[in-house]
Amino acid sequence: MKIAILGAGQLGRMLALAGIPLGLEFSFLDPSERPCAAALGKHVRADYIDAAAIESLTSGATVVTTEFENVPAEAMRLAGRSAPAFPTAQILSMTQDRVSEKALFQRLGIPTAAYMAINSRERLENFASLGPCIVKTRRLGYDGKGQYRVREPADVAGAWTLLGAGPLIAEEWLQFDREISIIAVRGRDGSLAFYPVSENEHRNGVLVLARSRLDDPIQPLAEDHARRIMAELGYVGVMAVEFFQRGNALLANEIAPRVHNTGHWTIEGALTSQFENHLRALLGLPLGSTAVHRHSAMVNCLGIMPDRATVLRVPGAHLHDYRKLPMPGRKVGHITCTGETDEQVTALLNQIIHTTGVGARGDSLIKHGKQ
Amino acid sequence: MKIAILGAGQLGRMLALAGIPLGLEFSFLDPSERPCAAALGKHVRADYIDAAAIESLTSGATVVTTEFENVPAEAMRLAGRSAPAFPTAQILSMTQDRVSEKALFQRLGIPTAAYMAINSRERLENFASLGPCIVKTRRLGYDGKGQYRVREPADVAGAWTLLGAGPLIAEEWLQFDREISIIAVRGRDGSLAFYPVSENEHRNGVLVLARSRLDDPIQPLAEDHARRIMAELGYVGVMAVEFFQRGNALLANEIAPRVHNTGHWTIEGALTSQFENHLRALLGLPLGSTAVHRHSAMVNCLGIMPDRATVLRVPGAHLHDYRKLPMPGRKVGHITCTGETDEQVTALLNQIIHTTGVGARGDSLIKHGKQ
């Protein structure tokens, strides 16, 4: 069976590493010259909406998916002519627009930050007069790109200069206790599975740390929100939902209709990884157990990989080098460690951060070992 | 860094699956048309002793290894001109000859079955007159091939007809309590690590089942034997040593100077797999933790792969499909399951065997859940 994937970055690479043991083969469509998943299957190099390339990509494919949520929905629609395609073009279109995503949350009764669709400077000025906010492009933002923080009305001018050319959304600047995400998976038969929530830490909009949170009291609420979203969309595959937690409430931030950086710790930390479960879901195979028997934490390698031997000297450190060219801020790899207790994982993470310098610029990222 | 491997079968495939996340690249030399590791690196198709092919294989390689212990030692010697090669040609020559292997055990004071090098029918008749024995070719035997069981002196004629053309070894037919193996790894700096012993079950000379044995009382003795062998040979990489256990004694059967089928359960069952640790050892990287936190068992898929969905319906079953053409008795894949207790693993294994038919022909392979 062959899986056709739009995009050939690290998520495609890790999907293939999970699928090859199951006997699956992979093909990737990616305009880059040497994308990092290409070593693990056939690489069709073309633009995403090149119909001939999509035909080549999907030739013989059992199913189509994407590892890149900003892939043109039209590409997914074209690919879906040859084989079942998940997520659908319709779901992709919806999650690619921050306003329609927020509208979905509201329709389902899932709280969000206050927000407003912005199509004029006047509207933005009105929204900014209510308090600090963050202005984002409605489409194509990721890793903190296409965002501008408006602390006070005077900042609107800067935001408008930078982002005003396209449709925007303004969101209330939230005070929150922590950021969490849940990785959920839904099969073609509607079967469901959820991983323990992940507690996440971003810097400048880019994920730096993700830690499994076993038996977290917020787990049932996060599952309930994800369940409602997936049921509403008739979703198939792995989905991540990111939340801000404030007290006992979860405010939905965004949906990633794909495997997600905050679920990378499932490779070593769960009985079945998010990557294997995405493939199982797409193919109509039974979902794998999401049971987690140890605590896990993952730190991203941004810009450049740390020294391999230094990482591997840390007992139980699992290195994932995506083999991407170094570039400031770019996600080029990650390191996961697992332990019997959360304190043990914190100690290992600190050791990784202090010996290799990943994740940290001066100060330690690990401020607490508590829940 | 590039790893050059002689052979491109399932062991090469699993080495690459373990090494790609570390940022390694692979090249394989294998005379087969589409060997199953070829999907994961460059495949040089040629005979093992083709000097030009070896040059192509090792071009740019940091280190050379083999996944096939019957590779001509000469190929390893040639490859070793371009990059450090482990195991060395000398070690391969020794382990390829059952008589020199047995002599090594004896030199190190490691017990073995009584044996005799056989170069005449008369010698075999003499040895067979002492009791039941098994006659094997000195070289190139694997998975029960090149063996003949001599129950009584009258069987010598059959053995001689089948195997008498080449040098042989005759070994006492042992009564034993169980078969175990230990997977050991030694780094370039002499650092050592050992996995918990594996208890193994063969049928017709082919491994069917391997189960991790945590805190087994025989562990220290198995480690001691493996340590002495590796130190004597100046060994680098993963080695498996197979033993027959009789009471509190271990009788060494054979050495596999490579990753081994009885260590496949380390992929899911140990903090670092045998495959990753072999690569770490070769590259002079710190060895990974061999800690085991759950019980594991592995069953081989012989001849043909079972239905994928049936396997994956078993909670926590890990499927490894090597993508080899079906052939009677051929190792085409394996399935591993893990659990909190040995009884839980036995129950899962039974479920796999009963629903998929792997490993079993009629009767269950699992006779006990005891240590």
Which pLDDT value is given to residue B362? 40
- Cα B86 → chain centroid: 16
pLDDT of residue A164: 80
Closest partner residue to B305 among A23, A41, A289, by Cβ? Answer: A23
Cβ-nearest to B288 among A285, A288, A312: A312
- The answer to whether residue A363 scores a pLDDT higher than 50 is no
Helical spans, DSSP H, in A238-341:
266-269, 274-282, 308-312
Same domain, A333 and A248: yes
**Which residues of chain B are modeled with pLDDT < 70?**
141-144, 360-371
Structural domain total, chain A: 3
Q: Is A306 on the interface with B (CB under 8 A)?
A: no
Residue A364 domain flag: no
Interval A165-209: pLDDT, tens:
889 999 999 999 999 999 999 999 999 999 999 999 998 888 999
Does residue B285 share a domain with residue B151?
A: no
- B216 falls within a domain: yes
User: What mean pLDDT do residues A16-42 have?
Assistant: 97
For the record, the structure tokens of A142 come out as 């990721």
Contact state of B338 with A271 under an 8 Å Cβ cutoff: yes
Nearest to A3 by CA among A41, A49, A48: A41
Give me the pLDDT at residue A365, please.
52
If you average pLDDT over every residue of chain A, what do you get?
93
Q: Which phi and psi angles does B143 have, rounded to 5°?
A: 50, 40
**Considering only CA atoms, which of B133, B118, B177, B203 is closest in space to residue B370?**
B177
Residue A369 confidence class, pLDDT cut points 50, 70, 90? very low
B39 chain-A contacts, CB cut-off 8 A:
20, 25, 40-41
User: Are B188 and B334 in the same domain?
Assistant: yes
pLDDT surpassing 50 at residue A368: no
Looking at the structure, tell me whether residues B64 and B14 fall in a common domain: yes
B101 part of a folded domain: no
Query: Residue B109 domain-assigned?
Result: no
> Are A184 and A227 a contacting pair, CB within 8 Å?
yes
Is B116 at the interface with chain A, CB within 8 A? no
A340 CB burial (10 A radius; 0-12, 13-18, 19+): exposed
What CATH number did the domain enclosing B186 receive?
3.30.470.20
Q: Is A164 left (phi over 0), alpha (psi -120 to 50) or beta?
A: alpha
CB proximity under 8 Å: B 244-303 to A: 271-272, 280, 284-286, 288-289, 291, 293-294
Structure tokens at B359: 């490993």
- Is the CB of residue A17 less than 8 Å away from at least one CB of chain B? yes
Name residues whose C-beta falls within 8 Å of residue B275's C-beta, 6 or more positions apart in sequence.
B14, B15, B17, B18, B19, B259, B266, B267
Which of A24, A188, A308, A344 is the best residue to mutate to test the B interface, defined by the most B CB atoms within 10 Å of its own CB? A308
pLDDT at A140 over 90: no
pLDDT confidence tier of residue A13, bands split at 50, 70 and 90:
very high
Q: What average pLDDT score do residues A60-68 get?
A: 96
**Rounded CA gap, A12 and A207, in Å?**
19
Q: How far is the alpha carbon of B6 from chain A, nearest alpha carbon, in Å?
A: 20
Q: List helix spans (H) across B234-340.
A: 266-269, 274-282, 308-312
- pTM more than 0.90: yes
Same domain, residue pair B199 and B254: yes
Q: Does A98 reside within a domain?
A: no
Point out which residues pair with B5 in neighbouring strands: B28, B65
Among A57-71, A150-164, B297-311, the minimum mean pLDDT is found in: A150-164
CA distances from A257 to A88, A101, A183, A299, B213 (A): 10, 11, 10, 22, 42
Which pLDDT does position B9 carry in this prediction?
97
A25, amino acid identity: E
pLDDT at A205: 81
Same domain, A218 and A329: yes
- Co-location of A198 and A331 in the same domain: yes
Whether residues B187 and B314 share a domain: the answer is: yes
Answer whether B21 sits within 8 Å of A312, measured CB to CB.
no
B199-233: string of b/e by CB count within 10 Å (b at 16+)? bbbebebbbbbbbbbbebebbebbbebbebbbeeb
How many Cβ atoms sit within 10 Å of the Cβ of residue B15? 31
With the CA atoms of B153, B154, B155 and B157 taken in that order, what torsion angle do they form, in degrees rounded to the nearest 10?
A: 110
pLDDT at A50 over 70: yes
Asked whether the ipTM of the predicted complex exceeds the cut of 0.95, the reply is no
Q: What is the pLDDT of residues A39-48, one digit of tens each?
A: 999 999 999 9
B159: left (phi over 0), alpha (psi -120 to 50) or beta: alpha
Q: Which of B44, B70, B85 is the last residue of a domain?
A: B85
Contacts of B29 (CB under 8 A, 6+ apart): B4, B5, B6, B7, B8, B44, B46, B48, B53, B54, B57, B75
Q: pLDDT by residue (tens digit) across A219-262?
A: 999 999 999 999 999 999 999 999 999 999 999 999 999 999 99
State the Cα–Cα distance between residues B45 and B43, nearest whole angstrom: 6
The alpha-carbon gap from A273 to the nearest alpha carbon of chain B, in Å, equals 11
B271, B313, B345: best to mutate for the A interface, most A CBs within 10 A = B271
In a domain? residue A153 = yes
Give the sheet arrangement for strand B63-66, strand by strand. B42-44, B25-29, B2-6, B63-66
Cβ–Cβ under 8 Å, residues B344 and B293: no
pLDDT recorded at residue B144: 67
| 3-class DSSP assignment, residue B52 | helix
Contact at CB, B21 and A318, closer than 8 angstroms: yes
Point out the domain boundary residue: A172, A202, A217. Answer: A172
Instruction: Give CA–CA dist B257/B87, Å, rounded.
Output: 7
Domain boundary, last residue among B64, B85, B106: B85
Contacts of A122 (CB under 8 A, 6+ apart): none
Q: Measured in whole angstroms, how far is the alpha carbon of residue B162 from the centre of its chain?
A: 25
CATH code of the domain covering residue A153: 3.30.1490.20
- Chain B: closest CA distance from residue A223 (Å): 21
In a shared domain, residues A79 and A186: no
- Report CA-CA distances (Å) from B76 to B5, B42, B55, B68, B174: 10, 18, 12, 11, 34
Q: What is the domain extent for residue A27?
A: 2-85
Nearest to B265 by CA among B352, B185, B356, B199: B199
Does residue B142 come out as left (phi exceeding 0), alpha (psi in the -120 to 50 range) or beta? beta
Per-residue model confidence (pLDDT) at position A139: 87
In angstroms, the CA A205 to CA A184 distance is 22
CATH number, domain containing residue B55: 3.40.50.20
Specify if A243 maps to a domain. Answer: yes
Residue B370 lies inside a defined structural domain of this protein = no
Out of A286, A319, A333, whose CB is closest to B309?
Answer: A286
First-to-last CA distance in chain B?
42
Q: Same domain, yes or no, for B135 and B279?
A: no
Residue appearing with tokens 């009105």: A126
Closest Cα in chain B to A290: B316
Q: What is the pLDDT of residue B368?
A: 42
C-alpha torsion sign, points B275, B278, B284, B285: positive
Indicate whether B130 and B159 sit together in one domain: yes
Same domain, A75 and A182: no
